[in-house]
Amino acid sequence: MMEQLEEKCFLDESETILNKKAVYEPTKGQRFRQVVCTRGWAIATLMMTGTVLVGVALIAAFARPAMAPCEVSVAGDNSAALAASAAAGGAASSESSSSKHDKEKGGEEQTYVATNGEPFPWKELRLPKTLVPQAYDIFLHPNISRSEFSGQVEMILRVMEETDAIVFHVNELNISNVAVHMGKSNTTFSQALAIVKQLEYKTNQQFYVQLAERVSAGSFLKVVVKFSGELKRDVMDGFYQSSYTVNGEERYMASTQFEATDARKAFPCLDEPALKATFKLSIVREKKHISLFNMPLMTSEPYGESPNLILDKYNPSPKMSTYLVAFIVCDFKNVSALTRAGTLVRVFAPEDKIYMGKYALDAAVAVLENYTSFFGLPYDLPKADLIAIPNFEAGAMENWGLITYRDTAILYDPAISSQDSKKWVTQVVAHELAHQWFGNLVTMDWWDDLWLNEGFATFVEFLGMDVVDSSFQGQNSLSMESVSALYKDSLINSHPIKVPVKNPAEIASVFDSISYEKGAALIRMLESVLGKSSFRKGLKNYLTENAYGNAVTGDLWRAWQQVSTVKDLSVSEMMDTWTLQMGYPVVSVAWDSRTLHLSQERFIRLEKKDPEPEKEDFKSPFGCTYLTFKLHFLLAMWEQTGFFSLVPLPDGVDGDNVLWLKGNKDLNGFYRVNYDAKGWKKLTDQLKKDHTVFSVSDRIGLMEDAFCLAMAGHLNYSVVLGMVEYMSRETDYFVWKTVLPHLDFLSQRLLLEEEYDLLRDLALSVIRPRLEALGWSSAGDVTTRQLRKSVIQAAIDYEDQASIDRATDLFAEWKKNQNYSMNNELRYVAYQAGVTYGNKDDWDLVYDRYMDSNVASDKEHLQLALGTSRDVRVLQILLQYTQDSSKVKTQDSAQVVRKVARNRNGLLLAWRFLRQQWDLLMERYGVKSAIIRRMVLIVSNFNTKFDLDEVKEFFKDKELGSAARPLHQSVELIESHVVWSEKYMPEVKSWLQKNRRRR
């Protein structure tokens, strides 16, 4: 399950309780509709004469103590589920203000002393509102061979309030000169202004210019700043360089990564997302290079004395945020195509890799064309470039018109890459293109609303993916994403979607699965409530109204409210309960002959004995963590009368004859559903008899809920393990992808117990039928091939000897002949088996091929396989290689360490390594580094109190920056593992004893 804590770019892993009482009473018409079920249910109804099916989709919304009537939803309708909180009144403020009590790096109170020892007058992290930028004209002269750059930026600022000070952002740049002119318009700046003081305050990455006179509101300033900086290697933010090899020759390129707060590392600027302006660029390059910018090239001319230098000048951009600016100097080649609307789309990569850009190019064209109609607005720039960056921290970055990608997220070689790789490329392309509208055209006002960008792009990426190839099954993929967010949001160390953030480390820390997957899940939930047509209409209005500007979450709700045709729905009241407090409910469902009993409580993975006081930051604005839910279309009356919602069953429905009842239809709602023993029994019987009456998303939901409810003590393991038995007939990839990590969770816990073998036998007993049906061929569509890979890998993980033999045979063939035509799905399986069951020579061979490989996805497979050795010596060597970027690129160092930590022979080595390297890593990558954020996750593999104490002790006094939350979540997971072993292990063991399988 650890993967589920992973950040977005590595997709692969007590509270006060307020009892609520309510009664739902449906009207006759509504009762009638309640039994009009989904197709699956209808069929089942016909088959089971004498039984009545009641399909109910519940949806939960957080609500304040004072309840009022709510909306209701029933399955089988397109709008599936409707949640409307009964809450009324003011939502929490969207503004996150800077505090006067910010902490300096070491945790000391901030002193606000500038680099020259003088007091720094501006004491806020946010810039003053006195000046607003209008236009930037940037000149840059990068010198790649000397790893440096110099430049000049001309900023046109509008004076909003009278002032004598200019504050802008700058980080790790040397500022050599500042000049300020004033003008009455933004084109003529006749009056030079004297500067009294220039101060830099590194902690807040700010520069302060004190003018000799005050400038009045309505006038304009032209601020010209000369600067220089280092073009760093091995860091992956600001303006930095990467190296790559073409035919054995090492080459260098320079590119940018600004989101969230690193534009200020490349040029002085007012680096906040709401401070939008136009950008012009002139950039010097060598003749052998090209340059790229958000906008098309205007002119190229010789530069200075050197015959080797060219100055490229670019068209000005539309109004946009600083974090979306990008420029690149490289010698890449491109492939290109035009969309129907005439937009030029190009994919750039090193010359020996450019053939692998064709797939992304076709995908990008298809997706762009589709989004134009989906968003109802054209793509706004004349061109869209997509480029593979050799060293890149995230998966990809949506810079407007110049989207940068990690090589594995854009390059696809049909002859070698796997279906997983094809899907990932499609998904990332679709995600970043969604941002061109959602994020770039309309941008969140501040980072506390990051989810607007990322949640929405995540929601849309699954639509875009299906445009390229519907066999990716975008909606089922999105269900998987929701499930991973449900998992993460069940931790006490989760956070509300909208979260106050101030400094760069806090901002970096919200790029996580709450902003992405929970955000996407909530948008899907709302779409199901509004209906597709209103959803799209509202979206278009939102984009049109806010184009080239900024928005807060409330603006989106308002846009949907205006087009909503759902009676009595207050979009913001409903959605605020989901976005302003963390967590979500588990809805318990039971029924007797006449009535449905529904109750709800917050679902928490690990109930603490002594609940910690709710974190101040995350206090629920609703004053409670209890929830209210509604049954869509079933609504008639709502009363607060008891602990439960009692819903009379429709006329003619006898509860005693209900075949089964399944809540949260198609996983459209962001909550879990629990049933009583009878309810689970009926569902299990149906799964075993014919699981296909449930949709794939419903099966994902059932299995995921069952496992997670058991993990948290809400359900007996005997129920869940009984349900697992049906998996021997499950043929769906997504359901397997849900269940396998849960079996893995059990095997991680039972690994050192005698009963491990029994668990293994259970796992293999359900895996084997799939294994036999799928074989080892490369036949089938995308998900069949993905499933084959997953079950073979699982069989090997559970030490199925026949599978191990077959995989090691494949490895042996490949060892003999590198060009051996291998089933691409099985490459990783073979490499891994070769390394795990091979010797040091095998490891060396895989290492050599890894170093030589030209295909990013295959290189990654080879690299990760290295971490699966059982030889601690090579694992230690591999850990050391992560600190040498000629062996493991910095972008990959965390994933390699994590791979070693997932290996039972490597966990302690990796933990020791992390501790040894901690100070160095922090110094090298800094407090907002994603590398560190990813590395700390390794501790979540621990199981025991001893390890828990050790982890706590080590991190006690450490400055964690953006790794704080991932660490706290990992610690919570270890705690949950300790509790699990105490509380639930005996039950699992005894079930396994009683239900032994044949091997």
The catalytic residues are 432
| Token duo for residue 994 | 């009683």
Residue 171: contacted member of Zn ion, ligand BES, none (CB under 5 to 8 Å, by partner type): none
Residue closer to ligand BES, measured from CB, 264 or 749: 264
Residue 444 is a binding residue for Zn ion (CB under 5 A): no
Residue 273: contacted member of ligand BES, Zn ion, none (CB under 5 to 8 Å, by partner type): none
Q: What is the 3-state secondary structure (H, E, C) of 99-122?
A: CCCCECCCCCECCCECCCCCECCC
Give Cα 223 distance to the centre of its chain: 38
| Region 131-160 residues binding ligand BES, contact defined as CB under 6 A | none
CA pair distance 612, 634, nearest whole angstrom:
38
Residue closer to Zn ion, measured from CB, 237 or 454: 454
CA pair distance 858, 26, nearest whole angstrom:
57
Residue 8 is a binding residue for ligand BES (CB under 6 A): yes
Residue 434 is a binding residue for Zn ion (CB under 5 A): no
- Which of 208, 1, 4, 10 lies closest to 896 in space, CA to CA? 10
Q: Give the DSSP per-residue string, 751-773.
A: TTSTTHHHHHHHHHHHHHHHHHH
Residue 386 is a binding residue for ligand BES (CB under 6 A): no
SS3 (DSSP) at 727? helix
721 to each of 150, 662, 681, 790, 985, how far by Cα in Å? 64, 19, 12, 20, 13
CB of 374 to ligand BES, least distance (A): 17
Only segment of 301-309, 362-370, 429-437, 740-748 that touches ligand BES (CB under 6 A): 429-437
Residue closer to ligand BES, measured from CB, 375 or 831: 375
Q: Beta strand 238-246 with 195-201: parallel, antiparallel or unpaired?
A: unpaired
Residue 396 is a binding residue for ligand BES (CB under 6 A): yes
Q: Beta strand 290-293 with 297-302: parallel, antiparallel or unpaired?
A: unpaired
Residue closer to ligand BES, measured from CB, 454 or 666: 454
Q: Give the DSSP per-residue string, 590-631.
A: EE-SSEEEEEEEE--SS--SSPPPPPGGG--TTS-S-EEEE-
Sort 562 into a burial class: Cβ within 10 Å, 0-12 / 13-18 / 19+: middle
At residue 157, φ and ψ (nearest 5 deg) are -115, 140
Residues near Zn ion (CB under 5 A), total: 2
Q: Which of 454, 705, 825, 975 binds Zn ion (CB under 5 A)?
A: 454
| Region 502-541 residues binding ligand BES, contact defined as CB under 6 A | 511
Q: Identify the helix (H) or strand (E) that includes residue 556.
A: helix 553-563
Residue 9 is a binding residue for ligand BES (CB under 6 A): yes
Give the residues across from 311 on adjacent strands: 284, 301
Residue 262 is a binding residue for ligand BES (CB under 6 A): no
Residue 260 is a binding residue for ligand BES (CB under 6 A): yes
Residue 457 is a binding residue for Zn ion (CB under 5 A): yes
Q: What is the largest CA-CA distance in the chain?
A: 92
- Which of 189, 241, 240 lies closest to 215 in space, CA to CA? 189
Residue 392 is a binding residue for ligand BES (CB under 6 A): no
Only segment of 395-403, 492-500, 828-836, 882-890 that touches ligand BES (CB under 6 A): 395-403
Q: Is residue 435 a known part of a binding site?
A: yes
- Which of 966, 986, 925, 945 lies closest to 236 in space, CA to CA? 925
CB of 933 to ligand BES, least distance (A): 10
Q: Which of 6, 13, 200, 259 binds ligand BES (CB under 6 A)?
A: 259
| Region 450-509 residues binding ligand BES, contact defined as CB under 6 A | 454, 457, 461
Number of residues that make up the chain = 999
At residue 925, φ and ψ (nearest 5 deg) are -105, -20
Q: Which of 138, 290, 386, 397 binds ligand BES (CB under 6 A)?
A: 397
At residue 588, φ and ψ (nearest 5 deg) are -95, 135
Contact 154/133 with Cβ under 8 angstroms? no
CA pair distance 421, 417, nearest whole angstrom:
6
- Which of 822, 730, 828 lies closest to 778 in space, CA to CA? 822
Residue 395 is a binding residue for ligand BES (CB under 6 A): yes
CB of 450 to ligand BES, least distance (A): 9
**What DSSP state is assigned to residue 214?**
E
Q: Is residue 454 a known part of a binding site?
A: yes
Q: Beta strand 131-143 with 278-286: parallel, antiparallel or unpaired?
A: parallel
Residue 576: contacted member of ligand BES, Zn ion, none (CB under 5 to 8 Å, by partner type): none
CB of 389 to ligand BES, least distance (A): 12
Residue closer to Zn ion, measured from CB, 519 or 663: 519
CB of 321 to ligand BES, least distance (A): 12
**What DSSP state is assigned to residue 246?**
E
CB of 671 to ligand BES, least distance (A): 24
Residue 167 is a binding residue for ligand BES (CB under 6 A): no
Which x/- pattern over 431-450 shows residues binding ligand BES (rule: CB under 6 A)?
xx--x---------------
Residue 860: contacted member of ligand BES, Zn ion, none (CB under 5 to 8 Å, by partner type): none
Residue 892 is a binding residue for ligand BES (CB under 6 A): no
CA pair distance 573, 63, nearest whole angstrom:
9
Residue 259: contacted member of Zn ion, ligand BES, none (CB under 5 to 8 Å, by partner type): ligand BES
Residue 810: contacted member of ligand BES, Zn ion, none (CB under 5 to 8 Å, by partner type): none
Only segment of 392-400, 577-585, 647-655, 803-811 that touches ligand BES (CB under 6 A): 392-400
Only segment of 54-62, 148-156, 362-370, 428-436 that touches ligand BES (CB under 6 A): 428-436
Sort 315 into a burial class: Cβ within 10 Å, 0-12 / 13-18 / 19+: middle
CA pair distance 608, 446, nearest whole angstrom:
34
Residue 385 is a binding residue for Zn ion (CB under 5 A): no
Q: Beta strand 585-591 with 595-602: parallel, antiparallel or unpaired?
A: antiparallel
Q: How many CA atoms lie within 13 A of 740 on its CB side?
A: 26
Residue 714: contacted member of ligand BES, Zn ion, none (CB under 5 to 8 Å, by partner type): none
Residue least distant from Zn ion (Cβ) = 457
Only segment of 59-67, 426-434, 590-598, 746-754 that touches ligand BES (CB under 6 A): 426-434
| Token duo for residue 810 | 């494949």
Q: Which of 394, 580, 658, 794 binds ligand BES (CB under 6 A)?
A: 394
Binding site for ligand BES (CB under 6 A): 8-9, 259-260, 394-398, 427-428, 431-432, 435, 454, 457, 461, 511
Binding residues: 431, 435, 454
Binding residues for Zn(2+): 431, 435, 454
Binding site for Zn ion (CB under 5 A): 454, 457
